[in-house]
Amino acid sequence: MIRDNGVARKGLGMDAEIRRWGGESVLLSYDDPTGSFMVIAIHSTRLGPAAGGTRLKTYPGAEDAVRDACDLAEAMTLKMAAARLPMGGGKSVLAVPRTDLPPEARRLLLHHHARNLEMLGGRYWTGPDMNTSSADMDVIRERTRYAFGASAAAGGSGSSAPDTAVGVFEGIRASLEATYGDPKLAGRRVLVQGCGAVGDPLVRMLHAEGASVVVSDVVFDRVEGLYDELDVEVVAPSSVLATECDVYAPCAMGGVIGAADVPHLRCAIVAGAANNPLRDRHGDADRLAAHGIRYAPDFVINGGGAIHLIGHETLGWTRAQVEQAVRGIGDTLREVYARADADGVSTEEAAERLAAARLAGG
Ligand code: NAI
Ligand code: PHE
């Protein structure tokens, strides 16, 4: 299947998109007051009710929003299986005409979304994602219980981002070990693209372990603070792909690496939090491997947020159990790398085979 995160491909048409996807259901509705299309894609409930965040974003059209929701929902199915969580994969997209909606309009849109979740009766649980936070989950929880990641005051487990960062950190260590025979960060140069909720704590962990950290963000304040405090190096967003480093950690938007970019990358490893960083997940993974660049599949390395939300809110895990599972992401990646070597396939293919085996009950 082609997956390009709505970046480079012309739409196939809504019917063809849904046919090639192979998921279970797509709920499409329209919020008249804000002019937003709203999508809830449920890819699989094979392992349990579907779960995946709510993404608030501007798209060229409804078809692009549907495609993004479907692709992201499929990635959630793989993420849950790879993390051995008893949930399926789903995703919501609120395709807003502008992301800075007035607060009351945003609130009513979230209530509309909550009514849709309620209508699904627990087949799908949402949570925070790009441009939505615990505060938005608090608003959704005013109308339905099917939202993870609300604040502690509203009965939730709070932001998933710090645990996502811990999982990415462990994934970077495992990737260094597989590449250089040593997981140590000291002396390694790591570039973090996007210093938001996940990127910021990741930068701090890497710096504390002695890595030489390079940061980039389109919001200058985010890198300025890190520069003043930790003395990290800063590169312009347009220079990220051409910057020489041991590890490139995409922690901003998806679709950052396409076929034309791979020959110009100057890193040994791609390992970050961003969902769907490859425009064509199989083709680009093959191209990265052909160029000797190790790729940590997104749905394995960024599973810490899902583990945090589901561990705390449905499995009743203690903090220590959640932390142990998040740190286990490093071991899952080691298994993926060993299988990729043994089977002579890309790390993406190896990770998908691992997830498929778990989906089949293995
Ligand atoms: P965020 O919105 O808090 O941070 C993203 C950062 O990227 C912002 O600081 C933004 O200014 C920056 N950015 C945007 N475009 C950029 C560009 N072209 N170059 C450099 N920086 C740019 O988002 P968050 O929560 O940190 O998530 C980051 C990524 O990780 C997203 O792709 C998200 O889907 C993924 N992810 C997040 C999880 C979580 O628990 N928060 C869990 C799994 C994946
Ligand atoms: N949106 C985050 C992710 O992609 C966190 C999340 C996980 C939200 C599971 C809801 C359910 O992993």
pLDDT of residue 129: 94
The Cα 289–Cα 345 span in angstroms is 9
Which two three-digit tokens encode residue 353? 């085979």
Ligand having the closest approach to the CA of 302? 1
pLDDT of residue 12: 65
pLDDT of residue 362: 59
pLDDT of residue 16: 81
- 163 Cα nearest atom in ligand 1: 40
| Residue spans of the chain under pLDDT 70 | 1-12, 362
**Which among 10, 57, 79, 91 is annotated as catalytic?**
91
Those residues with Cβ within 8 angstroms of residue 107's Cβ, 6 or more apart along the chain or in another chain: 139
Ligand having the closest approach to the CA of 196? 1
pLDDT of residue 7: 39
The Cα 79–Cα 326 span in angstroms is 13
DSSP state letter for 360? T
Q: Could you tell me the pTM of the whole model?
A: 0.95
pLDDT of residue 217: 98
